[in-house]
Structure 1
Amino acid sequence: MSWRDAKQRLLQQFAQQSPSTARVQALLKALAAQADAALLALWQAASLPAQACLVAVGGFGRGELFPSSDVDVLVLLPSDVDAHMPGPLRDSLEAFISACWDAGLEIGSSVRTLPECLIEARKDLTVQTSLLEARRLAGPPKVFQAFTQAVGAAVDAPTFLRGKLLEMQQRHTKFEDTPYALEPNCKESPGGLRDLQVLMWIARGAGLGASWGELARAGLISALEARHLQRNEATLKLIRCLLHAQAGRREDRLVFDLQAAVAQRLGLKAQGTVRASELLMRRYYWAAKAVTQLNQILMLNLQERIQGVAEAAVRPLNPRFQDRAGLIDVVDEDLFQREPGAILETFVLYATVAGLKGLSSRTLRALYNARGVMDARWRSDARNREQFMTLLRAPQGQTHALRLMNQTSVLGRYLWAFRAIVGQMQHDLFHVYTVDQHILMVVRNMRRFFIPEHAHEYPFCSQLAAQFDAPALLLIAALFHDIGKGRGGDHSQIGGIEARRFARAHKLSKADAELVEFLVRKHLRLSQVAQKEDLSDPEVVAAFAREVGDARRLTALYLLTVADIRGTSPKVWNAWKGKLLEDCYRLTLRHLGGAPIKHEAEIEARRQEARQLLALRSALPDTEAPLWATLQLSYFARHEASELAWHARELWRHVGQLAGAVVRARPSPVGEGLQVLVYARDVPDLFARICGYFDGAGFNILDAKVHTTRDGVALDTFQVLSGDVGALQRDLVPLVEQKLALALAQTGPLPEPRRARLSRRVKSFPYTPRVSLRPDERAQAWVLSLSASDRAGLLYAIARVLARHRINLQLAKISTLGERVEDSFLVNGAALQNPREQLVIESELLDALALPG
C-alpha cells in the first residue's frame, strides 16, 4: 500500500471514531510508522553507500507524525565523502528525495556528514535541537550510535539552556506573553506544545532524561506533576491533530473558522448561552494554563540543576520565606499545607519587597500542590481577607501580583466568582482578550493612572487620580466590573451583587461599599451618555448628574471608564472618543458643583471666544455675522468656539450666494484624523453622498454634526480617520476638499455600497443587527439607534435608506467598538409620522445592517 493510501486509511479510521487522547496518540504513532515503512522502501531502492544512514530528526524523530506535519529526515553520509559530492552519489540522492515527494512524503531533508552536522550544530541552535531527537530509520547501527554520541558530547548544557530560554522568551513575546489569545496557536503560543518540547530538549541536552517519567525519577518534577504534564500534553496533541484533520492542511491555530468544527468533533454541545466553541476554548485555556505553571516549575529546576545557585544569593525574608536569587522561596515545601494563610502572604511580599522578580520552583510547586487547601474555609478566613486588602492597598506592585496570582490559579480560588471567567471568551466583536485577561488589563490601566512615570500617557486621568483618596476601591471595581459575564442576564448587575458580597466580607465602610457597587453596576453608563446622547442638551447632562450623585463618584466612574475602554482592544480607543468622555465628565462635574449650565450664557461666552479667535487671525470685524444670522441655537450649542471661528472664516463669503458645494478640511484639533466641513444646498441624499465618498476613499467617520440653516443650506462637520495609517493628515486635506466637492456635484441615483471582504471574526461571530426608533423626550424629533457588525460601506448603506425616505439628520453619533458599531442619529421627516412607513424604514435598515450572503 502506498504512503498516500495508508495515510488516508488511517485518517478515515480516525474520523469514524470518537476522538480521545489515547486514539490520537495511536494515530500519531501509526502515521509515523507508515512514513517509516515508506521511507525504508524508497531507501532500499536507492543506490546509496552502505555506510550511509537515514535518520528521522525533529518532531518526526520523536516517532510521532501529525496529519499535515513535515517529515524531517537527515541523510548521514560517511565522513570520507568529499565536500564536492561525486556525480553518481549526487544523482542517487536527488532520485531518492524526488521519489519521496512523488510518493506524497512532504519531506524536509538535509544531507551531511558527521563533521558537517557538528559544524552546523555549533552555528545554528535549531539544527542542534533537531539532531538531539534523532532516530535511526536505516543504515548501520554503529554509525548511528557514533553520530548520537558525538552530537550529545557537542552540547554545552549551560549554553544550550541559555539559547533555548532566549528563543522561548522571544516566541512568548510574539504571542503577547499570554496563552489566552482568542485564536491561540496550540503549538507555538505560551502554554502550547512547543513549551513542553523546549523542556524536553533542555533535559536531553543536559543528559537528565528523555521522558516525563525519567525527569520525575531524576527528582526534577514530582510523580503528580509528571502525570499532569502528560495529561495536558495529550490534550494539546488531540486539539492539534483535530485542527489538521478539519483544515485538511497544516493549521496549528485555533482560528474562529475551525473552533466550532473542532468542538463538534469532540462531541461538545452548547450549554444554555455558552457555545460549544466556548467550551472547547475553555478546555484549551485550562490545559495551556497548567502547562504554563508546570513549565515554570520544571524550567527553574532545570536551571538550578544545570547552572546551580550560589548560597550567597539566599537571604531570609521572614521565618516562612527567603529571597533565593531574587525569587521568593518557601523555607519548607509543606508550608502552605501547614499554614494556608501564608499563601496570600507570598503575593504581598512579591508586591511590596523591592528586588523580588518571581517565585522559585519550590514555591510554585508548593502553590500547585496546595490547591486542595484553598477551599471555602480558606476564602472566609479573616486573616486571608486582611492579606488581600493589604495587597490592594499596597503603594505598588498590585498589577504584577494579581497577574501572578492568576497564573498560579490562586486568584480564582480566592475570588471564587473570578474562577468562572478564567479563559472565558467574549463573543461581542469588542474585546480581544478573554474576560480574566481583560479584567487584569483594566487593573493595570487603573494602576498606571496613579504612577507618575506614566502621567504622560493619560495626563487628565493622572491628574484626577492624584487627587483620589482611595485607589484600592478603584482596583476592586476593576476586578469586579466584568466578573458577572457568562452567567446570563445583565453582567453589570450580577457583578454589582458580587462586589457587594466582597465589600461586606472584607469589612469596607458603607460609603466605600456603595461606591464600589455603584461603579460595577454603572461602569458602562458614562460611555453610553458620552457616545450616544447629545451633550449639548442641558437636560441630558442634568439627568446624568442626578444618576451619578456626587463628584467623587463621577471621578471614579470616569477613571474606570477610560481604563475599561483602553483594556478592550488596541483598535477601540481614539482621541475623539477620549474627548467625548472628557467633555461629558467636565459638563457633569460643573452641574454637580452647583453651577448647572445656563444655556444662553454658555452660548454667548462661546460666541465671544470665537470672535476673539477670528480677530487673532486678522479677520474683518463682523466676519461671523452673515453666517451666524442663518443658524439656530442648536448649532452654537454643539460646536466649540474654535469650530465656530473656523466655519465663519471659511464660509462668510458664500452666505447668500452659494454656487456649489463648499468643502474645507483641516487636521483634526483632537488627535489623529481630519475635520471636514461641508456647506451645500440641503437635499435628501446629501448625507448619503458624503458617506458614500468617505466610504469609497477609505475613511472612517468618527462623528458627524449636521445642521440646516434658515435659508435651506446644510452645514455639516465630520471627524474622519483615514484607513491609510502611513498617510500624513495634512497631505490629505487638498485631496478631500477636491474629491468630495466633485462627488457632491454628481446627480442621479446613489451608487451601490462597495462590497469588501468580511473579517474572519465577523463571519465567525456575527452580531445580531438591532434597530430602535423612538421619539426624543420633547417629542420634536426621533432617536434612531443601530447596532451591527461593522464592515466597509455600512454607514453609507444606512444613509441611503434614510435618503430614500427623505429622513433629515440633525445629529449623528458614530461609535465603532472593535468590529461592532453602535450608532445613534437624531432624525425627523414626514415618513416618521406614519406607523406603517416606520415599519418599512426599520425593515429596510435591518436589511442594510445584515451581513451579506
Structure 2
Amino acid sequence: MSESPTIIEKTRAAVARYFESALQKHRAGEDPFKVVGSYAADMDCALADLFERQFAAGEDISLVAVGGYGRRELCPYSDLDILILRESRAHDAEIQRFVTLLWDCGFDLGHSVRTLAECYEYMVDNPITGATLLENSLVAGSRRLYKRFLSSVVDRYRRKEGSKFAASKIEQIRVSLDTEGRTIYILEPHLKDGVGALRDIQRVLWVENIRNGSIGFEGFSPKSVVSPERVISLREAYVFYLRVRCELHFLTGGRQEILENESVRQVAKNLFYDGDGRRSVEGLMADYFYHARNTYQFLKYYIEASADLPLGQRLKRRFFVNPVGSYLRFYNGKLYLRVEPPAESIAEEVVGFFVEAHRLDCPLSQELREWIRDRLANDKIDFTRSMVINRVLLSILREESGVSKVLRGMRRTGVLSRIIPEFSGLEGLVNFGGHHHYTVDEHTLRTLEKLDSLQREDVTEEGRPFREIFQSLRDPVPLRLALLLHDIGKAFEGNHEVSGSDAAGLICERFGLAEETADTIEFLVYRHLRMFKVSERQDYSEAGVIESFARLVGSEERLKMLYLMT
C-alpha cells in the first residue's frame, strides 16, 4: 500500500526544519561536532517515525545508523548510511516499502539489508567498506537484536580480525601519505579524501576502536602509541576540517568536498576570517596548512610507532644498533637519535643529520623528526649566524642528485626556514593568481625535484638534452639556490621579482658567496620569467628581439641556467 502524501510532506517539512536548524547553528559558530551530531539526532527522529509506521513493536528487525551517520557526524549533504538488520530473511515486502518511502521523502540513502551472519561475513570479506559497521547507532526497532549485533558481529570481529584490520588501515594511511604526487600542499584540497584529511584521521580512529574498543578522540586508550597532547592536536585539525566541510556543503547546496578557488573567498567570509578577499583567503588557507602539517606529522609518527609496537622490536632498536657519527644510530632503514648533541652545537649537528641521511640514502625516523621539531619549538636556536651551516647547505646544493629530498626533509622539520628565515613566508602560501597547483613552498621544492630527476638513469628521451645542459654547468649552486629563492619575493608586498631579487642578495651575502655568484643568483631570481615572456609574448623572429635578450642575459652560463629554470 502506498503511503499517504501527508506523511511524505510532513517528513519533508521536518527535514527542512532540521536542515535550517543545522545551518543556523553552523552560522553561529557552534562546535561542528555539535552541528553534525544534532543533525544526526534529528534525522534519527524522522527515520524512527517512518520505521515505526512500517514495523510493529517487538518485531525482530532494527534500523541502525552506520558510517559517518553512525558515529553521529552527519554533514548537511552526506548520505544517510543505514543498515536494516533482521533476524532472518523475512520482512522483504515491508523493507521494500520502507526504503521506497525513504526515497519518496527525499533522503539520500546508502542502505543495506543483512542478518547478523551476513554482517559478519561482509566485514570479513570487505575490510575497506566493512569498517562502516564498526561505527553504529540504533535508530529504531529491536534493541535486543541490536545488542546481539554488537556482541556477535562487532565484538567478534574485533577479537578475531582486529590485528589484520588495524594493519590494513595503517597501510592505507601510509599509501595515502606516500603515494607519489599526493601532497598536503595543494591549492584546492580535498577535505574528505586528501592527504591527512578527514578519512586518514578516521582510519586512526578505526584502529583505536579495534585495538581498544574506543570511540572518537576521547576514547584513545592510555596504551595508545601517541600522547594525549598529540590527540588534542589531531582533534583540533578534525574540528577545522569538519567546519570547512560543513560550510562547503551549505554554500554549494551539495556534497562538495573540494575547497575550490571559486568558493574559497566566500568560505573564508562565512567562517569569519577578517580582511579583504585576499587576506581572508590567506588566513583560511594558513589555518588549513597548519592543521594539515600537524596531521601529516601525527600520521607519520603513528605509522612508525604502530610498526614498533612489539617490545622485542623496541629493545632491538635500542640496544642492537649501528652507530652513525656521534649522535645517531641506524636501524631498519632509518636514522634514530642515539645521544643528544650538546646545546652549544645543536644547530650544526641537526643540519649534519640531513647530510648523514643523504650519504646513507635513508630517511630520518619520524621519532627523530619529532625531536628536531620539539627542539626548534622550545629553543631559540639561531641557524643564520653559523658559517658552518651555510657551508653545509652549499655543499648539499652542490651534490649530484637527491638535493630536493634533503631540502624537503628540512622543510618538513622547520630547519630550512631556520637557515633561510625568508622561506618561512612561503610555507603554506597560496597564489591563486598564477599557474601553480600547489602552495608556493611546495611549487619551489617541486622545481628542484624536476632538476634532480634529470640525473636519474631512467630520464626520458625528452629530458636528456636538459640533462646535458645541466651537466655542462661549471657549478650547480647558483641554479639550485636561484630555484630555491625564485619565488621568495611572494612573501613580501609589491613586485615579487624585485623584492625576491633584493632578498636573494641579502641571503647570498649571509652565505658569504662570491660577488659574481651572488650577481648571477640575483639575476636569475629577478629574471626567472623573462625567457617565458619572450617566447610566449614576443615574436622573436623580429629584428632586435633575440639581440636584446642576449645582451640582457650576458653569458652562455647564465643562459643555460635561465633556460633550465624556464
How far apart are residue 538 of structure 1 and its match?
A: 5.4
SS, match of residue 72 in structure 1:
strand
Identify the residue that residue 36 of structure 2 maps to in structure 1.
Answer: 28
Distance of 2:311 and 2:260 partners within structure 1: 40
Which of the numbers 242, 245, 268 marks the counterpart of 1:263? 268
Distance of 2:311 and 2:193 partners within structure 1: 26
Identify the residue that residue 540 of structure 1 maps to in structure 2.
Answer: 545
Superposed, 1:649-728 pairs within 5 Å as: none
Which of 541-550 and 496-505 deviates more? 541-550
Assess if the C-alpha contact under 8 Å between 2:64 and 2:136 holds in 1. yes
Superposed, 1:231-630 pairs within 5 Å as: 231-271=236-276, 274-305=278-309, 309=313, 311=316, 314-331=321-338, 339-354=346-361, 356=362, 358-373=363-378, 375=380, 377-454=382-459, 456-537=461-542, 539-561=544-566
Instruction: Write the deviation string for residues 467-491 of structure 1: whole angstroms up to 9, x where unpaired.
Output: 2121122111001011111533221
Identify the residue that residue 122 of structure 1 maps to in structure 2.
Answer: 124
Identify the residue that residue 76 of structure 2 maps to in structure 1.
Answer: 67
Distance of 1:373 and 1:342 partners within structure 2: 17
Assess if the C-alpha contact under 8 Å between 2:500 and 2:525 holds in 1. yes
Instruction: Write the deviation string for residues 307-332 of structure 1: whole angstroms up to 9, x where unpaired.
Output: 97372784322332222311222225
SS, match of residue 383 in structure 2:
helix
Instruction: Write the deviation string for residues 628-675 of structure 1: whole angstroms up to 9, x where unpaired.
Output: xxxxxxxxxxxxxxxxxxxxxxxxxxxxxxxxxxxxxxxxxxxxxxxx
How far apart are residue 187 of structure 1 and its match?
A: 0.7
Which of the numbers 97, 104, 120 marks the counterpart of 2:99? 97
Assess if the C-alpha contact under 8 Å between 1:180 and 1:433 holds in 2. yes
Distance of 1:72 and 1:101 partners within structure 2: 13
How far apart are residue 213 of structure 1 and its match?
A: 4.5
Identify the residue that residue 655 of structure 1 maps to in structure 2.
Answer: none
Two-structure CA RMSD over aligned residues (Å): 3.0
The verdict on how the C-alpha distance between 1:451 and 1:216 changes in structure 2, with shifts beyond 3 A counting, is: same
Which structure carries more helix by proportion?
Answer: 2
Identify the residue that residue 181 of structure 1 maps to in structure 2.
Answer: 186
Distance of 2:213 and 2:31 partners within structure 1: 29
Assess if the C-alpha contact under 8 Å between 2:327 and 2:340 holds in 1. no
Report the TM-score when normalising by structure 2.
0.88
How far apart are residue 351 of structure 1 and its match?
A: 2.0
Q: How many residues align?
A: 550
- In the alignment, does 2:196 pair up with 1:194? no
How far apart are residue 182 of structure 1 and its match?
A: 2.5
Q: 2:76 corresponds to which letter in structure 1?
A: P
Distance of 1:8 and 1:419 partners within structure 2: 46
Assess if the C-alpha contact under 8 Å between 1:348 and 1:390 holds in 2. no
Superposed, 1:190-229 pairs within 5 Å as: 190-207=195-212, 209-215=214-220, 217-229=222-234
SS, match of residue 302 in structure 1:
helix
Distance of 1:40 and 1:333 partners within structure 2: 60
Assess if the C-alpha contact under 8 Å between 1:446 and 1:474 holds in 2. no
The verdict on how the C-alpha distance between 1:176 and 1:552 changes in structure 2, with shifts beyond 3 A counting, is: closer
Q: Which runs of 5+ in 1 are unaligned?
A: 562-853
Identify the residue that residue 156 of structure 2 maps to in structure 1.
Answer: 150
Q: 1:53 corresponds to which letter in structure 2?
A: S
Distance of 1:5 and 1:175 partners within structure 2: 47
Structure of larger gyration radius: 1
Distance of 1:224 and 1:244 partners within structure 2: 31
The verdict on how the C-alpha distance between 1:15 and 1:121 changes in structure 2, with shifts beyond 3 A counting, is: closer
The verdict on how the C-alpha distance between 1:288 and 1:326 changes in structure 2, with shifts beyond 3 A counting, is: same
Q: 1:233 corresponds to which letter in structure 2?
A: Y
How far apart are residue 540 of structure 1 and its match?
A: 2.9
The verdict on how the C-alpha distance between 1:213 and 1:328 changes in structure 2, with shifts beyond 3 A counting, is: farther
How far apart are residue 93 of structure 1 and its match?
A: 1.6
- In the alignment, does 2:81 pair up with 1:77? no
Distance of 1:414 and 1:204 partners within structure 2: 42
Distance of 1:512 and 1:486 partners within structure 2: 23
Sequence identity (%): 26
Distance of 1:383 and 1:164 partners within structure 2: 44
SS, match of residue 111 in structure 2:
strand
Identify the residue that residue 55 of structure 1 maps to in structure 2.
Answer: 64
Which of 371-380 and 240-249 deviates more? 371-380
Q: 2:447 corresponds to which letter in structure 1?
A: V
Which structure carries more strand by proportion?
Answer: 1
SS, match of residue 178 in structure 1:
coil
Identify the residue that residue 773 of structure 1 maps to in structure 2.
Answer: none
SS, match of residue 84 in structure 2:
strand
Instruction: Write the deviation string for residues 536-566 of structure 1: whole angstroms up to 9, x where unpaired.
Output: 45533332222222222222222222xxxxx
SS, match of residue 507 in structure 1:
coil
Distance of 1:332 and 1:42 partners within structure 2: 65
Higher RCO, 1 or 2 (CA under 8 Å, sep at least 6)?
2
Distance of 1:544 and 1:337 partners within structure 2: 50
The verdict on how the C-alpha distance between 1:536 and 1:178 changes in structure 2, with shifts beyond 3 A counting, is: same
Q: 1:94 corresponds to which letter in structure 2?
A: Q
How far apart are residue 172 of structure 1 and its match?
A: 5.7
Superposed, 1:823-834 pairs within 5 Å as: none
Q: 1:490 corresponds to which letter in structure 2?
A: N
Assess if the C-alpha contact under 8 Å between 2:65 and 2:139 holds in 1. yes
SS, match of residue 113 in structure 2:
strand
Identify the residue that residue 774 of structure 1 maps to in structure 2.
Answer: none
Distance of 2:209 and 2:342 partners within structure 1: 32
How far apart are residue 31 of structure 1 and its match?
A: 0.5
Assess if the C-alpha contact under 8 Å between 1:340 and 1:373 holds in 2. no
Distance of 1:546 and 1:530 partners within structure 2: 16
SS, match of residue 53 in structure 1:
strand
SS, match of residue 236 in structure 2:
helix
